[in-house]
Chains A and B, each alone.
Chain A
Amino acid sequence: MTNLWLTASLWMGLALVSGLLASWTGISISLLEIFIGVLAGNLLGLHTAPWVDYLAGFGSILLTFLAGAEVDPVVLRTKFKESFSIGLAAFLLPFAGVYLFTRYVVGWSVPAAQIGGIALSTTSVAVVYAVMVETGLNETELGKLLLAACFVNDLGTVVALGVLFADFNAWLLLFVAVSAFVLSLTPWLTRWFFRKYGNRVGQLEVKYLFFLLFFLGGLASQAKSEAVLPAYLLGLAVAGFFLKERDLLHRMRAMAFALLTPFYFLKAGLLVSLPAVWASLGFIALALLLKVFTKFLGVWPLTRVFRFDPREGMYSTLLMSTGLTFGTISALFGLTHGIVTRLQYTALVTVVILSAVVPTIVAQRFFLPLAAFGNRGAELSPTAVRPEGKKRVKADELAFEVKLGNEKGDD
């Protein structure tokens, strides 16, 4: 299809279908976008295009930035020792395990095995967070520590992706020096800029952040590093600021979810080959088991050292075995830079998707900590009301207004 707008409408139509399916099923939009992308690529023969690549690339950068900006610096500081050790072990052991397996058992090249190790070393902060909100664990010490450990794990992933494939030359030196300078100034500069130019119709603060993302991302690319590395670090640098400026975060989220991330996830799915999934079933199963097993080796002993209850330890370990965003970003980086083949990419992305689903289900089904049940009564908006009068009103006189989307709740 050569008509640009019709092509764009097809992509946006697929994003819309994914969003509707997400709304009906309660499954996350990103996972469904990947799924719809797989179907569109394999059954409709949809191809990517330079403008799609640009939007998808921008989407992955913005997604990584927002992930960095979600970090709660206070949580990270208060339990630094525990969260750092668990997060580091949760990154290193799966990375090493998957690297050795793909390199020496499966016979991948060194860079491809590195991509494999990085893609399967990730954890999903969002999956962990959603599960903890449902169980009320996000308000406990264990929950806060786990989230902080997830941030450290993800940091390990983006640093590995940014460093392992970089050219160690003058460009890298320049990138490191400029990034260090900009990132050290960013917390102060952002507050100042927002105070002076924020909340105007021209969205200057958004343009300011996009400028920094593109500039540092451009320098990273020049050094053959990955643009998501400075994006995550930039997110971390403004995390405290974003905790207060929720409105700015919402605006950026709206831009990301409406226009950019659909292209990223659809493209990530588009490049998955269904015949390759079938051909790699054995590898996929083994790699998934290996990821969970190495996460277990890295995280579970530390949970015992830090005196977690055994059930809590197992629950934490399984939740840290989840992964989605950075897993797909790493695999896509490998494919677009010619480091992994489409077969390897397909296998990695399939394992990444399964690692978001399987450990979560097992953790919730079999290892939900007993503390979670105590927190079940902790609701979002409690109010208690005692009646004042006893005037009878017919049920028909009640006016329920349904303004948002579908009927949520019981049937």
Chain B
Amino acid sequence: MFERILVAIDGSEHARRALTVAVDLAQKYGASLCAVSVAHLPEFSDLRDEVNGALEDATKFFSRALEEAKGFAQEEGVEIETSVIPGHPADALVRFAEARGCDLIVMGARGLSTIQRYLMGSVSEATVRHAHCPVLVVKGK
């Protein structure tokens, strides 16, 4: 049913749960995984170097989490590629999934309160709204 699954990785516990589910699904369907982290660049920044600095920080931050994800998937016998992409989280995930022909997006849910969701926006909600393919939001403690 699924051939290429995108799993969103942000270094959090929620992403770890999502990865576990994605690897399980990949095993069941013989699918490959794209583990993707999104480097959110500062909006309306003032120096080009501020943008570069944010990219460097994000790449450094996410590379560890992606390495762990890679190791886990490999040990489970699942083919995986990892990427750090710049952009707005939901937008970048949806576009990346489309560009790479992914047929499922798996991501964790942080369980934001109403106020937090209002202030910060829910990435999973935005992804569900805009994705061209099914989106699995992994909830729970």
Contacts and interface: CB of A to CB of B under 8 A. Distances in A.
B82 A408 contact: no
A398 B64 CA distance: 12
Given A249-B49, A410-B124, A398 B99 contact: no
A406 to B, nearest CB: 9
Contacts of A381: 59, 63, 66, 82-84
A159 B124 CA distance: 48
Nearest to B43: A27
Nearest to B127: A410
Contacts of A63: 46-47
Residue of B37, B47, B88 with highest tally of chain A CB at under 10 A:
B47
Most chain B beta carbons < 10 A, residue from A31, A124, A385: A385
Contact of A28 (B50, B78, B88): B50
Interface centre among A249, A380, A390 (most CB of B within 10 A): A380
Given A386-B79, A404-B57, A409 B15 contact: yes
A380 B65 contact: no
Contacts of A130: 41-45, 51
Interface residues of A, number: 66
Contacts, number: 235
Nearest to B7: A410
B81 interface: yes
A335 interface: no
Given A133-B55, A411-B122, A325 B46 contact: yes
Contact of A393 (B66, B72, B82): B72
Interface string A371-411: 00110110111111111111111010011111111011111
Interface of A: 22, 24-31, 63, 66-67, 70, 124-127, 129-130, 133-134, 249-250, 253, 257, 261, 265, 322, 324-325, 356-357, 360, 373-374, 376-377, 379-393, 395, 398-405, 407-411
15 contacts: A26-B40, A30-B45, A126-B50, A250-B53, A374-B99, A376-B99, A381-B63, A390-B75, A393-B72, A404-B60, A407-B12, A409-B62, A411-B109, A411-B111, A411-B122
